[in-house]
Amino acid sequence: MKMTEPATPHDAGVVVVDHPLVQHKLTLMRERQTATSAFRQLARELSMLLGYEAMRDLPLEPVEIDTPLERMEARRLAGKKLCLVSILRAGNGILDGLLDLVPSARIGHVGLYRDPETLEPVEYYLKLPDDVGNRICLVVDPMLATGHSAVAAIDRLKQAGCNRMVFVCLLASPEGVACLRRAHPDVRIVTCAIDRGLDEHGYIRPGLGDAGDRLFGTK
């Protein structure tokens, strides 16, 4: 996939995927009149496309196989299966597309909500595979807005022993990117776009609205 220069051009840890299909589908998601069912399907399709880039560096190992014509040395994924960690609740909306790519991946959940006054994350749930520290984790949330929830989730994963992570989101703000990169410079960010910035309520502008509400039809 062709890549744009990220909004932080000297930061190799931020990847903006500008493939035409990605940008087209993102535009459809941004549209106010896009129905809930279409929004969900687009989120699934975009997460799959983002997954290709997020998984670019997965380790491989050689394996001997028999094709219909001859024996050969091929390559397959090495090590423990991936762990996909959803930041609840909206993160669940982009799990399916990633699972289409790696259906055997393990799943973890971090439950966080944003305090409407402080905009700080409050944890209410955590469930991870016992051996999460031995797995590469893709941490998923549709929006990287203030960055506080992403930082809190990755803090908890590191406490659990995980040290190989990629953060995958549909949209990011410059403030969110800066916050996450400052707290966890070892975690690569893969996104469709970095928008203009945040408003006084912590929403990404121009954005696509509240991803959770649009995914689940709650507003």
| Mean pLDDT, rounded, for 94-115 | 88
Q: Is 74 annotated as a binding residue?
A: no
pLDDT given for residue 5 in this prediction: 40
pLDDT given for residue 8 in this prediction: 46
Q: Is 34 a catalytic residue?
A: no
Q: What is the pLDDT of residues 109-118, one digit of tens each?
A: 999 777 777 7
Asked if 192 and 16 count as a contact pair (C-beta separation under 8 A), the reply is yes
| DSSP string over 137-164 | EEEE-SEESSSHHHHHHHHHHHHTT---
Separation CA 121–CA 119 (nearest Å): 7
Q: Is 147 annotated as a binding residue?
A: yes
Separation CA 73–CA 83 (nearest Å): 27
Q: Is 114 a catalytic residue?
A: yes
pLDDT given for residue 179 in this prediction: 94
Question: What is the Rg, in whole angstroms, of the alpha carbon atoms belonging to the chain?
Answer: 18
pLDDT given for residue 1 in this prediction: 44
Total number of residues shown for the chain = 219
Q: What is the pLDDT of residues 147-190, one digit of tens each?
A: 988 999 999 999 989 989 999 999 999 999 999 999 999 999 99
Exactly one of 100, 196, 213, 218 is catalytic; name it.
213
Asked if 65 and 18 count as a contact pair (C-beta separation under 8 A), the reply is no
124 burial type by CB count under 10 A (0-12 exposed, 13-18 middle, 19+ buried): exposed
**In what helix (H) or strand (E) does residue 1 lie, and over which residues does it extend?**
none
Asked if 58 and 77 count as a contact pair (C-beta separation under 8 A), the reply is yes
Can you state the percent helix, strand and coil of the chain, rounding each to 5?
35, 30, 35
Q: Is 146 annotated as a binding residue?
A: yes
Q: Taking each helix axis from N to C terminus, what angle separates 174-183 and 148-159, rounded to the nearest 10 degrees?
A: 20
Exactly one of 11, 96, 131, 210 is catalytic; name it.
210
Bridge-partner residues for 125, per DSSP? 111
**In what helix (H) or strand (E) does residue 189 lie, and over which residues does it extend?**
strand 188-194
Q: Is 30 a catalytic residue?
A: no
Exactly one of 32, 71, 76, 118 is catalytic; name it.
118
Residue 19 has pLDDT above 90, yes or no: yes
pLDDT given for residue 183 in this prediction: 95
Q: Write down all domains in the chain, each with its CATH number in brackets.
A: 3-207 (3.40.50.2020)
Asked if 62 and 75 count as a contact pair (C-beta separation under 8 A), the reply is yes
Q: Is 141 annotated as a binding residue?
A: yes
DSSP 126: E
E runs forming strands in 38-120: 60-66, 71-77, 83-88, 106-114
State the average pLDDT for the chain: 88
Q: Is 210 a catalytic residue?
A: yes
Q: Is 97 annotated as a binding residue?
A: no
Q: Is 210 annotated as a binding residue?
A: yes
Exactly one of 114, 131, 156, 164 is catalytic; name it.
114
pLDDT given for residue 7 in this prediction: 44
Q: Is 56 annotated as a binding residue?
A: no
